[in-house]
Structure 1
Amino acid sequence: MYKVNEIFQTIQGEGSFTGIAAIFIRLQGCPVGCSWCDTKQTWHIDPQLSQSITQVVAKTAETAHWASQTAEQILDLFKNQEYQAKHVVITGGEPCMYDLIPLCQLLHDNGYSTQIETSGTFEIKAPAKTWVTVSPKVNMAGGYKVLQSALDRADEIKHPVAMEKHVDELIALLVDTNISDKLIYLQPISQQRRATELAIAMCTKHNWRLSVQVHKYLGIS
C-alpha cells in the first residue's frame, strides 16, 4: 500500500523532463529533514489524517492528509480522472521509503513511463526502465547519509545549491561515482539570485546543466 499525499496532472518543471506533461504522485513520509523543504506537510504519517482518495484528489491546499492506495487503485484513478499524460513522477516526501517496483511495473505495462525523485538516502527499489533522479541531501537534520548505491543507480543527479559549500558537497559525492552516463544538474534553492548566479557559474565551469524549477516561475503546481 502506498500512502498518497497528492495526485495531480501538470508539467514537469525540473531536470531532463522539463516541459513534459506529467502525472505526479506525492507519497507521504520523509525523515530526512531538509531545512528548505517546500513540502514539509509530507514529513509525518499521522494515522488520524488518513482520508479517502477522493478527498485527497480534491485538495485545494497543501495538507498532511493522505490516502492508502494499491498500485491497481492508483492506475484506476488515472483512468477515472481522465489524465492524458503518460509520464508519471513519483515524489514525496521520500518515495524510496516504499518498494516502488509493483507500482512502476504496473504503470509500464499500461503504457506509462516512470520517474522517481529521491534524496538518495534510501535503497531504490524500482525497475530498470524507471528514470531515477537523485537530489542528494547532505548533512540534513535527520542524519541520513546519501547512499553510493543511489548515486550509482541515478540517471540524473540534481543538486540544490545556495552556497559554494553545496557545490563542494556534490563534488565530494561524485568522487566514487561514474558520471559518464549521468546528467548532472545544479538547481538554485528558492530562485535566489545569488544561488542562480552561482549555479550558472559552476555549470559553466564543470560542463553541468542548470535546472531552474520552471513550474515555480510559472506559478503552477
Structure 2
Amino acid sequence: MNTTADIVKYKINELFETIQGEGSYTGQPSIFIRLQGCPVGCSWCDTKHTWDVELSDEVSPEKMLAKTHETPLWASFTPQDILTLVQHKGYQAKHIVITGGEPCMYDLTPLCELFEEQGYSAQIETSGTFEVKTTARCWVTVSPKVNMRGGYEILTSAMSRANEIKHPVATEQHVDDLKALLKAHNIVDTAIYLQPISQKKRATELAISTCIANNWRLSIQVHKYIGIE
C-alpha cells in the first residue's frame, strides 16, 4: 500500500550539500533542497530562476542534478526519492534545509517526517505568505516579505510558527516594517535576525546598529563571504 511519502512529489530545482550561512544554524553542515515556484516577487531575490513553474522546464532527475549553473530546470521527486538520492551521494550532513522559491507552497510534512525518522533535523525557509505545513519538530525560519510585487500578505499563522524571524534590511523603512509586523502579530519572544540586503556597507551598518538598539541578532550570509553556494 502506498504511503503519503510515496505519492506526494516536489518540484526540485537544486539539491546540494554545503554549510548553512544564515540565522541560528549558521555554520551547520546542511543539505539544501531548493523547490521550484514562488509568486511573491522580491525585487532583490537572488534565486529568480526558481519563480516560474513551466512544464517545458521539467527534466529528468539526472539532468537536473547535472546542472552547472542557475537555470529554471526542475525535476519531480517523492520524499523517498530525495532520501535515496541523499544516501546515494554519501552526504554527511544530518540537517536538511528546504528553501526555494517559496517552499510553503507545498505540504512539507511528508518530506520532513521521512527525514526526521532517519535521524535528520529539518529546517524550512519561508516568506511567511503561505501556511506552514510541516512537523512539530521542524525549525521554521520566516523571512517576512512586506509589500512585494506579488501582493501577498504575511500570515499570522506563519509568524506564530516561526522559530526565528530573519528580516532583510537596507533602509529604515525595512526596520519600521518589521517592528510593525512584530506588533501586529504579537511576536514577543521569537529570535529576530536582521540580514543586510546584498551585503552593502550601508545596509550592514544599519543592521548592526539596529540589532544593538533592539537586542536582536545579525545574519550576514556567511556563505557569500566565504564564496560557497
TM class, shorter-length: over 0.9
Matched, 1:97 2:114: no
Which runs of structure 1 show a deviation greater than 6 angstroms over 4 or more consecutive aligned residues? none
User: How far apart are 1:178 and its partner, in Å?
Assistant: 4.5
When the two chains are superposed, the root-mean-square deviation of aligned CA atoms in Å is 0.8
Alignment partner for residue 165 of structure 1, among 152, 165, 173?
173
* Pairs within 5 Å for 1:173-192: 173-192=181-200
What amino acid is the match of 2:143?
Answer: S
Say which SS state the counterpart of residue 225 (structure 2) adopts.
helix
**Cα distance in 1, alignment partners of residues 33 and 219 from structure 2:** 21
Question: Cα offset for 1:176?
Answer: 3.6
Shift of 1:57: 1.5
Q: Residue 41 of structure 1 corresponds to which residue in structure 2? A: 49
| Counterpart residue number, 2:4 | none
Structure 1 residue aligned with 2:203: 195
TM-aligned CA deviation for residue 181 of structure 1: 3.6
Given that residues 131 and 155 in structure 2 are in contact (C-alpha distance below 8 angstroms), is that contact kept between their aligned partners in structure 1?
A: yes
Q: Is the 8 A contact 2:26 2:222 kept in 1?
A: yes
TM-score normalised by length of structure 2: 0.95
Which of 152, 167, 187 aligns to 2:160? It is 152
Return the TM-score normalized by structure 1. Answer: 0.98
- Give 1:182 shift: 1.4
Q: Which of 111, 126, 139 lines up with 1:131 in the alignment?
A: 139
1:17 to 17, 25, 29: 25
Deviation of 1:104 (Å): 0.3
- Which sections of structure 1, spanning at least 5 residues, go unmatched? none
Q: Deviations over 1:169-206 (max 9, x none)?
A: 00000004454441100000000000000000000000
Identity of aligned residues (%): 66
Structure 2's unaligned 5+ residue stretches are 1-8
